[in-house]
Structure 1
Amino acid sequence: MRSSRTRGATGVALSLALVAGVLGLAAPASAADLPAPDVPPGEVASSNIEHLSNNPKNGALQGTGSDIAFQGKYAFAGNYDGFTVYDLSDPEKPVQALQVYCPGSQNDVSVYGDILVLSTDSSRSDDSCDSTTRPATEKDAWEGLKVWDISDPLEPEYVKAVETACGSHTHSMAPTKNGKDVYVYVSSYSPRSSFPDCQPPHDLISIVKIPADDPAGAELVATPNLFPGGGYEGDASRDASATSGCHDITTYAKYDIAAGACMGDGILMDIKDRAHPKVITTVRDTENFAFWHSATFNNDATKVVFTDELGGGGLATCTGEYAPELGANGIYDIEKAKKKGGKNGKELVLKSYYKIPRINDDTENCVAHNGSLIPVEGKDLMVQSWYQGGVSVLDFTDSSHPTELAWFDRGAGVSDGGTWSTYWYNGYAYSNDLGIGFDTFDIDDSIDGKAKTNLRSLNPQMQQKF
């Protein structure tokens, strides 16, 4: 699935059909060897979280639901066929305000001011919204970033396309301190010698500069090599990926820092010079992590939660067959490190792992995926998607002893693929499900009752201090 640089409904269905055997991992002798799921097939259960509403997929956007970004009273929800704008005026019952058809997986989405950016990581006939699928072996096939002007959120205007090497699986914004320019770090991976626009070793990211007052002026400005030594070589015996670019980067512009989840490596970067990021430190987990997928800082940038997407999003790792350290979060403290010459650098120190404690059915893909902080002062709280493992609220204030505070879980057969991304925004948690649409949740006030609810925007891969 990763080798074709696709993920979602098709890839998940394939992985569920083949289960662990296709990935070279040990599978149980039979389903009878596994304990019964905590939430039976066809049922729904939760603790300290209430499901308020669901907006089903409809119209032209029947593809896989992906990422979400927020601005003002609107949520922008990605879909492999385009994106949907939801009006959150009644936050408990979002209203679909607009659909934009523009196919090109994953359609990872971010917003900043009047700018909306979409990632295209599937080879297309051209950069238009009328494009069709083309093989990545064809030189004139297109992949990259699409830039939109959303000065009127309900009439978005597609203004620029920027082609990037190996496409754009995900992207992360890094605005300058004065807000005049937005730099976009483009993550992509899985090069192949037969792909003319995605040649090995591809140890780089692409950087696109977008003038805040002229989105049509977007241009590629740099392709820095983050792994001049080649990165982790991978380990086929445990389906651990080699490093060839990054899967996702989370920026924290206030602190001029970014965390990269780069397949085989986790990294911290200094991004003070936005166009020339520098790797500060690299960390590997050659025992438990298989695919470094995403990262979330705590509010004061002293910790990072990295996720391990073991199996690429299609594997049932929550059945009791896999150890709690596999397909989990790795919680790292950012500590000072002495370097040669007496200068203080930084290093990532592993403190613990976190995986949802519930047992799933062996047909349910379940692994750590996208989440965001809940802005409660003095605490490190995070709401997170686990595909068919559902939604989990995590307290990692004590990074050595993370605990679950709330959860929501649909049993097998309710959702085909589960929840991709769950983010907290102004009092509610919103989730984009691969198969059944856009969900709204209310977390118990004992957990988020003191959270700040005056956020003007939220891009979870572009963190802002609360």
Structure 2
Amino acid sequence: MRAGRPRTLASLTFALALVAGSAGIASAEAPAPPETGATKSDNITHLASAPMSGPLANGINTDIAFAGRLAYVGNYSGFAIYDIGDPADPRLVSQVSCPGSQNDISISNGLLFLSTDSSRSDNSCQSVAQSATIKESWEGIKIFDVKDPANPRYVAAVETHCGSHTHTLIPAKSKRELYIYNSSYSPNAAYPDCQPPNDLIDIIKVPVEHPEDAAVVASPVLFPDGGFPGSPTGRATSGCHDITAFPARDIAAAACMGDGILLDISKPERPKVLDRVQDAANFSFWHGATFNHNGTKVVFMDELGGGSGAECSAEVGPNKGATAVFDLDHKKFVFRSYFKIPRHQAAGENCVSHNGSLIPARGRDIMVQAWYQGGFSVWDFTDSAHPTEIGYFDRPPIEPADFGGYWSAYYYNGAIYGTESVKAFDVFRIDDSRTDPAKRVKLDELNVQTQPASK
């Protein structure tokens, strides 16, 4: 995992297993009818489910990126591309077999970026698991050309420190380059290329016209004091889990295990820490962040239990495994409240605060958020101190008890899209006077971790 190590074309194996959409495949993968037995609010309509299939059928659906009428869905086994021109009838265009936990995904101008956070034998899509104690093992970012979505083409790979759990796109002002803020954590003294304390992030520079020249250009230390030292209930900081950028204000919010931080990203290769917050009493693992519509608030998610625990119970309570709301006052965090779904889940249902996105309803701060087997929630934090739920969808528990539920739930161009981890790519509609103005907002592209200002 030697970050930025030069590679010749001969040293990269670009072959990949591609299953392209066709009339036959589209027919075979037609969306299933909405699942029965779910509970939901009256303002939510379940439009469609596109079941996992082919080489991705036994994987785990993860994150989603959007461009035009296409949705790009990450999966531990690769990624899939869906045509969502008709949200009620998502159609598989193609899928790529390329195993590599967890395949966090983003899209920009026909380039697709995929995170590999499991130690592999090489950087190809045919790699196998290989111990991180071996110097030659590989983890990092894979880059695909998806200008022809029916035929994705693997064009480059960049190795990073400690792999790539998630990543965030930062557009350069010139638009000739694209920066990637790479997040990874859990170093180990036995790993040659992922040594403690791992108090940094890797920054990759991608020449848009020549993505094959992408390379790590900086690895700034964000926690010179070592970060949160850990507590009986909270993980010590040894890297960042996820970063959300708000380019319109040159800021980013980073969720870094035991710390939440605010970054100045006006100079993308030299981010500067503006403020930092910790919550030893209630937060176990700072997992992700979302800004409000004008970048004056941040909500941070706590992934108590790592996503596999049943954390939505009366015993756990309303402030743990929840989402925390902060106002930004002169670029300083001011804590205001916690939000957690008000429905207690069964003992076998993994449930905790997870990935969500803002619903761009002008004049209000509303987001949709996944809670694994807790389903997803639509909630309003316009009043930072008193967030309220305004809609939800919750499937029945998986029987027998097992991992599942919504990994991500995002709003894009009039619909809500969810990755049901072990089942399907789902589509919903919300009809509510508070969110209806968002239906007029049409985006050309959406990577939720590169958050646009509301129009």
**Match for 2:191 among 191, 195, 199?**
195
**1:132-183: CA deviations, max 9, x gaps?**
0111111111000001112222222111100000000000000012311110
**Match for 1:404 among 380, 384, 389?**
389
Secondary structure of the residue that 1:441 maps to in structure 2? strand
- Whole-angstrom CA distance in 1 between matches of 2:276 and 2:248: 21
CA-CA distance at 1:383 after TM superposition: 0.4
Structure-1 residue corresponding to 2:74: 78
Moved more, 445-454 or 53-62: 445-454
- Whole-angstrom CA distance in 2 between matches of 1:140 and 1:134: 9
Structure-1 residue corresponding to 2:85: 89
1:440 paired with 2:424, answer no
- Whole-angstrom CA distance in 1 between matches of 2:77 and 2:390: 35
Structure-2 residue corresponding to 1:417: 404
Gaps of 5+ in 2: 1-35
Structure-1 residue corresponding to 2:453: 465
1:171 paired with 2:156, answer no
- Whole-angstrom CA distance in 1 between matches of 2:220 and 2:301: 24
Structure-1 residue corresponding to 2:358: 373
**Match for 2:345 among 340, 360, 373?**
360
**Match for 1:252 among 246, 257, 272?**
246
- Whole-angstrom CA distance in 2 between matches of 1:275 and 1:115: 21
- Whole-angstrom CA distance in 2 between matches of 1:298 and 1:280: 18
Structure-2 residue corresponding to 1:392: 377
1:228 paired with 2:224, answer yes
Give the alignment of 1:108-119 within 5 angstroms.
Answer: 108-119=104-115
- Whole-angstrom CA distance in 2 between matches of 1:446 and 1:94: 26
1:449 paired with 2:449, answer no
Give aligned-pair identity as a percent: 54
- Whole-angstrom CA distance in 1 between matches of 2:76 and 2:189: 26
- Whole-angstrom CA distance in 2 between matches of 1:241 and 1:137: 23
- Whole-angstrom CA distance in 1 between matches of 2:147 and 2:46: 32
**1:347-377: CA deviations, max 9, x gaps?**
1010000000001100001100000011110
Structure-2 residue corresponding to 1:241: 235
Give the alignment of 1:147-296 within 5 angstroms.
Answer: 147-235=143-231, 237-238=232-233, 240-296=234-290
Which residue type is aligned with residue 439 of structure 1? D
Which residue type is aligned with residue 238 of structure 2? S
**Match for 1:324 among 312, 318, 322?**
318
User: What is the alpha-carbon root mean square deviation over aligned residues?
Assistant: 1.3
Compute the TM-score of the two structures, normalised by the length of structure 2: 0.90
CA-CA distance at 1:437 after TM superposition: 1.2
- Whole-angstrom CA distance in 2 between matches of 1:89 and 1:279: 40
1:59 paired with 2:54, answer yes
Which residue type is aligned with residue 174 of structure 2? N
CA contact (8 A) 1:417 1:434 kept: yes
Structure-1 residue corresponding to 2:413: 426
CA-CA distance at 1:118 after TM superposition: 0.2
- Whole-angstrom CA distance in 2 between matches of 1:464 and 1:289: 27
CA contact (8 A) 1:177 1:253 kept: no
CA-CA distance at 1:416 after TM superposition: 4.0
- Whole-angstrom CA distance in 1 between matches of 2:134 and 2:253: 33
Moved more, 147-156 or 394-403: 147-156
Which residue type is aligned with residue 54 of structure 2? G
CA-CA distance at 1:63 after TM superposition: 0.6
CA contact (8 A) 1:86 1:98 kept: yes
- Whole-angstrom CA distance in 2 between matches of 1:412 and 1:179: 46
**Match for 2:119 among 120, 123, 129?**
123
- Whole-angstrom CA distance in 1 between matches of 2:212 and 2:280: 43
- Whole-angstrom CA distance in 2 between matches of 1:324 and 1:445: 26
**1:87-120: CA deviations, max 9, x gaps?**
0121111111101111101000000112110000
**Match for 2:65 among 69, 72, 78?**
69
Which has the higher relative contact order, 1 or 2, with Cα contacts under 8 A spaced 6 or more apart?
1
Which residue type is aligned with residue 217 of structure 1? D
CA contact (8 A) 2:308 2:403 kept: no
CA-CA distance at 1:215 after TM superposition: 1.4
CA contact (8 A) 1:121 1:143 kept: yes
Secondary structure of the residue that 1:84 maps to in structure 2? strand
- Whole-angstrom CA distance in 2 between matches of 1:387 and 1:405: 18
CA contact (8 A) 1:176 1:253 kept: no
Which residue type is aligned with residue 259 of structure 2? D
Which residue type is aligned with residue 48 of structure 2? S
Secondary structure of the residue that 1:311 maps to in structure 2? helix
Equivalenced residue count is 415
Which residue type is aligned with residue 98 of structure 2? C
Structure-2 residue corresponding to 1:334: 328
- Whole-angstrom CA distance in 1 between matches of 2:171 and 2:432: 33
Segments ≥4 residues shifted beyond 6 Å: none
- Whole-angstrom CA distance in 1 between matches of 2:398 and 2:285: 27
CA contact (8 A) 2:405 2:421 kept: yes
- Whole-angstrom CA distance in 1 between matches of 2:112 and 2:214: 12
1:351 paired with 2:347, answer no
